[in-house]
Structures are given as C-alpha cells and as structure tokens.
Amino acid sequence: DASDIEKGTYPHYMLKEMDEQPAVMRKIIQAYANEAGELEIEADILEALQQADRLYIIAAGTSYHAGLVGKQYFEKIAQIPVEVHISSEFGYNMPLLSEKPLFIFISQSGETADSRQVLVKIKEMGHKALTVTNVAGSTLSRESDYTLLLHAGPEIAVASTKAYVAQIAVLAVAAYVTAQAKGIAVDFDLKQELAIVANNIQAVIERKADLEQIAEDFLKIARNAFFIGRNVDFYVSLEGALKLKEISYIQAEGFAGGELKHGTIALIEEGTPVFALVSQKDVALNIRGNVKEVTARGANACIISMEGMAEDDDTFILPATHPLLTPLVTVVPLQLISYYAALHRRCDVDKPRNLAKSVTVE
C-alpha cells in the first residue's frame, strides 16, 4: 500500500523506482541463485517448462511488452516455441493449442482482470499455468499452478518501470535454466551478464541531467513522437512509447524500423521527434537507414545507441550489454526521458489521468 512505502527524498515514486532498477537486478540474481551460486528455479517449474512443447504468454500493458522480449529468450536460449497474446484479445482469437501447452501469465500486480479471465478459461480446459508476478499471494499467483516472483519490491507509480526490467530478467533466468536442464549449450554466463546489466543501468541513471536535457530538446513543444527500432529494439520502442503516452500525454507510437515506409512515415513533419534505438549489431545499418529516411523529411532524430555500434553524432550512448539483454538497459533512458517530459508539462507523474495501477475490470 502506497501509504506504507516512503518516497524518502524523492519527489515521485516513479523516480525512486527507476533508481531502484540496478538493485532489483542484483536482488533477482541473488533470489534465483542456489548455494553453489548457480541460477536455479524450483524443480516443479523447471519440469513444467521442460515438458512444454509451446508456451503461451498472456499479459497486458507493460507486462505484454516484457512478454515480447521473453519470447525471444525461450525461443533463442531454450528452443521452445512461444506465442505472446494480449490478455483481453486472447479469448476472441484462441489459437489452436499445441499438445503440451504451458501458459505463462505476466502481471506486476497479479490482479489484472483481463489476464485472470484467460487463466480461469485455460484452467477449465485442464491446462497448467505459471504466473510471473511481483505480488506473492495475488489472485493470479493463487489460482495458477506455479509462481515466479519478480522481487522488485512494491511498485507504486502507475507507470511501470522496475517491474518491467524485473519481468525480463526473470524470464531470462527461466529460459536459461530450462536450456541447461535440456542439455542445450548456452554460450554465455547469464549471472555475470545480469551483473553487468545492473552496472550499466546504474551508469544510465547517473546521467539524469543529460536525459532531462534530451526531454527538453526533443519533447518540449512536441505534439507527438515516434520510437523506432528493429528486432528487440522494436519491443523496447513499444514500451518507450507507452511510457511517454501514459505520463506526459504526448501522442506516441512505437514502430518497427522497416515498417515506417508502409505508412507511418507519412506522419513525419518538420521537427517531429523520432527516438531510434541502435543496440543490435546485425540491424544497426538498417535502423540508421530509417533514421536517414525520417531526418530527410524533417524529423528531429534522437539516436540512442550502444557502445560498439555508436557513431559520433549519436545523442546518447549506452554501455555495452549482452545482445539478448539490451532491453534491460535501452528502456532506462526512455523511462527517464518520459519522466522529465511529463515534469516539464507539469503532469501528475505518479498518478496519470484515467489510469489505474491495476485494472480489476475486464
């Protein structure tokens, strides 16, 4: 409950919660490590993941965006096919289920009614469910077979920040240990890479002044904004746009770089802010090509790139991060830019109009 959690010297819960993100990463490494210091999840959850021939991730809002990243982990690391569905839509477009499906509900609160109605339905059908949530004892956790906790600590601000990075990190852990249990060769040490992520998030957070300036330069008078990326940067673009919409009320959309030319580019005018993420080496040239296309039409492009693929004129450069884990770092400048854009507009950052922290109606 908000009244129990102190903001301390912070003006907003959202700022406090963004600052907690490095600690949340470290907490997750700790919570999911066994005595030998190796990553581990409960044996029955591991077995359920190993036995599944397909995972169905169900979530809403920011949790859905985390699910899109999680799909990459289960497919690329653990070699399990995954579908990701928006919970409110799932019932209308119920996919043909595989032989041995496992449902994964991602929900910060564990109370989202849209997700719960899917859980009720698939339980009736006799399927198993794993809930990934921040709240032990929440409805989704109680009503599903298994729970993985986020260990993010209470999240009070309506706009989700630390829960998003926690969801992605926990999904990475689950995919990683499943791969190991299946005898699939994994060529990186996730624990070590997550520790690097924690430091990298910290480094971004320490550059708040630069991000405040970016918010001022790019969004002060903006009526709309675009976020573009390819591969996992696209999923983070969706989350970046959602953060900006939620708290600053600036109309924002996230797009796949390659999809711009199929319609969105018509909206680019003189001065339109476009935030481009460049964290994936294999598509860096293509996304930079998209930046050229929009700047040629007058866009004000803010390039957020990663060390190793950065160019001199880039607006903000992120510390090098394992290619699968970049969403944990690329999202942080977008959260902070949204925060400062909302502040400049004197918006109620922690309690945006029309939104609720958890939506318990369908």
357 is catalytic: yes
Work out the burial of residue 318: count CB atoms within 10 Å of its CB; fewer than 13 is exposed, 13-18 middle, 19 or more buried. buried
Q: Which is nearer to ligand G6P, 147 or 321 (CB)?
A: 147
Give the DSSP letter string of 328-360.
Answer: HHHHHHHHHHHHHHHHHTT--SSS-TT--SS--
The answer to whether 258 and 276 have CB atoms below 8 angstroms apart is: no
- Any bridge partners for residue 192, and if so which? none
Structural contact between residues 132 and 170, judged by C-beta atoms closer than 8 angstroms: yes
Interface stretch with ligand G6P, choices 27-35, 109-117, 214-222, 259-267 (CB under 6 A):
109-117
For ligand G6P, the binding residues in 114-133 under the rule CB under 6 A are 115
Q: Which ranges constitute the DSSP H helices of 107-161?
A: 113-124, 139-143
Nearest to ligand G6P by Cβ — which residue? 61
Using DSSP, state whether 1 is helix, strand or coil.
coil
Among 21, 72, 107, 131, binds ligand G6P (CB under 6 A): 107
Residue 338, interface with ligand G6P (CB under 6 A)? no
Assess 359 for contact with ligand G6P (CB under 6 A). Answer: yes
**Nearest approach, Cβ of residue 70 and ligand G6P (Å):** 13
Site string for ligand G6P, 46-65 (x = CB under 6 A): --------------xxxx--
Among 2, 266, 285, 355, binds ligand G6P (CB under 6 A): 355
Residue 187 CB-density burial (10 A; 0-12 exposed, 13-18 middle, 19+ buried): exposed
Nearer to ligand G6P, 111 or 233 (CB): 111
Q: Which of 72, 88, 108, 272 binds ligand G6P (CB under 6 A)?
A: 108
Query: Which of 21, 72, 88, 112: binder of ligand G6P (CB under 6 A)?
Result: 112
Our CB check for ligand G6P shows the closer of 133 and 326 to be 133
Q: Is 264 in the site for ligand G6P (CB under 6 A)?
A: no
Q: Which two tokens stand for residue 6?
A: 């102190």
Q: How far is the CB of 253 from ligand G6P (least distance, A)?
A: 17
Pairing of strands 82-86, 54-59: parallel
Could you list the beta-strand ranges (E) of the chain.
Answer: 54-59, 82-86, 101-107, 128-133, 146-149, 224-229, 251-256, 273-278, 300-306, 316-318
Q: Name every residue whose Cβ is closer than 8 Å to that of residue 312 and which is 6 or more positions away in sequence.
A: none
> Looking at beta carbons only, is 155 or 233 nearer to ligand G6P?
155
* Number of residues in the chain: 362
CB-nearer residue toward ligand G6P: 21 or 62: 62
Span interacting with ligand G6P, options 116-124, 191-199, 230-238, 354-362, rule CB under 6 A: 354-362
Would the CA dihedral through 118, 84, 167, 42 be positive or negative?
positive
Nearer to ligand G6P, 266 or 356 (CB): 356
Is residue 160 a contact point for ligand G6P (CB under 6 A)?
Answer: yes
**Cα 289 to Cα 287: distance, rounded to the nearest angstrom:** 5
CB of 303 to ligand G6P, least distance (A): 27
Catalytic site residue from 123, 191, 208, 357:
357
Active site residues: 357
Chain contacts with ligand G6P (rule: CB under 6 A): 60-63, 107-109, 112, 115, 158, 160, 355-359
